[in-house]
Structure 1
Amino acid sequence: MDWLPVAGVVLLAMGFSYTNGFHDAANAIATSVSTRALTPRAAVAMAAVANLCGAFFGTRVAETVGSGIIDPPSGSEGLLICTAGLLGAISWNLLTWWLGLPSSSSHALIGGLGGAALAGGAAVHWEMVLSKVVLPMVASPLAGLLLGYLVMTAILWLFRDVRPGRVSRGFRVAQTGSAAAMAFGHGMQDAAKTAGVVVLALTVGGYQSGGDQAIPLWVLGMSAVVISAGTYAGGWRIMRTLGRRIIDLTPPQGFAAEVSAAAILYVATALHAPISTTHAITSSIMGVGATRRLKAVRWSVVRSIVGGWVLTFPAAGAAAAALMALLGLAL
């Protein structure tokens, strides 16, 4: 098969990876920037490096996305499905970034691939979608709420007799490490998902055996570099939402949220589950804020965020299905 269509899908996947980077940059660094633990530019630089390193540890997630979600036919029709799926995910990323809404790039990608597959008559592995995507999608925000609440409660108890100013200074320093851990987890999850789509394109294009689930090192490296470049571009619109609009974060709260979210990302990666870094950090921030009092969380902002979460799958899927139909007519 001609290599140009395959190269086109790979480049489109890198375009998605770039939007993923600047869309989700806020996931790793919004709390550190809002508490002034890091300057914005230092934060995005650190997150870009940690994203780059984390990508090489996310092969399990890449394998799930590359071979476990859809089963497109070989040849041009399969590449068309990959193209429409990526375009649907990119369109949703750009829309939610413009609105400053911290939605899930991961679920936009999976929803886009699913919508394109259905429109193109390809098989969708619904059992895998349920076990590896839908159930973790529900479980990870609940885990974030609970873990954020417990970690923050433990911090309040352990440092109850220490002067608040001293505690804030200490956790402002500690946030450098917790933000790096969060960014590393983001690289494990999100750069690996893009690598999985590239492998899917290589497989349907005939450049990789269908039984070979191995992720080539060059694919991981390219995905890691591009998502890191997108991260360095920053996502200031969404950063304001996560860092300031849900609750007014203090350094101990920022540290607790980042540690909780990072732990959830690491466990999900070990289980091959492509979860949303957005869900993990946003729900952890909510759990942390609830330790102060429930009214400390701006629930009107939370409602709009959760609404975006609910819409992500169907919206990206519908966009991809429509694009699949248009591309089919054009070709």
Structure 2
Amino acid sequence: MNNKLWEVIIIGGGSGGLSAALTLVRARRRVLVLDSGKPRNRASGHVHAVLGHHGKTPLQLLADGRDEVIRHGGVVRPAGVVATTAVDGGFSVECSDGETFTARAVIVATGLEDQLPEIEGLRERWGSGVAVCPYCDGYEVGDGRIGILATGPGSTFQAQLLRQWSPQIVYLENEVGVPTAEAEPGLAARGIEVVSGAVARVVSSDGRLTGVDLANGRRIPLDAIFTAPLFSPRDEPLRQLGADRVDSPWGSFAAVDAAGRTSVPGVWAVGNVVDANASVSVTIGAGALAGGMLNHELVLEDIRTAVAATAEAGE
């Protein structure tokens, strides 16, 4: 694998990285995808609301994407990345297996990690009974008894949002405490039950979530739980390259423009690594846009290089 051949290295082989790769290889760019094999949604049984792919497993969706990239001439390498640095003419990317590759440009699509509350049984049901996105998973539990495990001020609106899918919404105060005075009337008006007390454990039976036990011993029957974890972007490459950051209600993320450009020329980023709210569909679109706009920039660079070479030859 000749590391002098790459025009673009994509760090991350999830839906955003593969979408960007497919756009670029179809533009006849030499693309290397470095994939650690740990997509954010790997615990989920299915992807939902992805046009034309609804119901596929996340791993099948990515396997199909890798096949498409490879079929068009791209290379996908299973590898983690430990260091990304700017070098003359581009960037150097060092992998966990010791290999180093260089490219003219880099797209970071490494996603994020969901940091869940430390509650017994919660992590085990993540992706199968416990979810974060109602647009991804609300339909499948519609009309069921849905618990909202509060983690912060935004949890009351999460409860109101899930009310669109079911009249049986249970707001679990957990350790957050009572809803604010502004939120409480809206919860009551829409029939959202408020349960006080810390949640001690998530209860399952026959591989299915059935409820939660409170610290006081009370059991709350539930069919599903939605919560808002803390988001930890896997953005070490962007930090190493010195990309500007921006604070948001969901934490600190690298700043990008609408096409995915960071503050570092030649460095782009797409998906959950820069947008905690990006679903699979949104991430696929962001990858395609970033791939296309990056190709435009490479074309402009190719023009400048050709003009300079022609001028030098004519001297």
Q: TM-score range by the shorter chain?
A: under 0.3
Q: Which has the higher helix share?
A: 1
Query: TM-score, normalised to structure 1's length?
Result: 0.25
Higher strand share: 2
Higher relative contact order (CA 8 A, sep 6+): 1
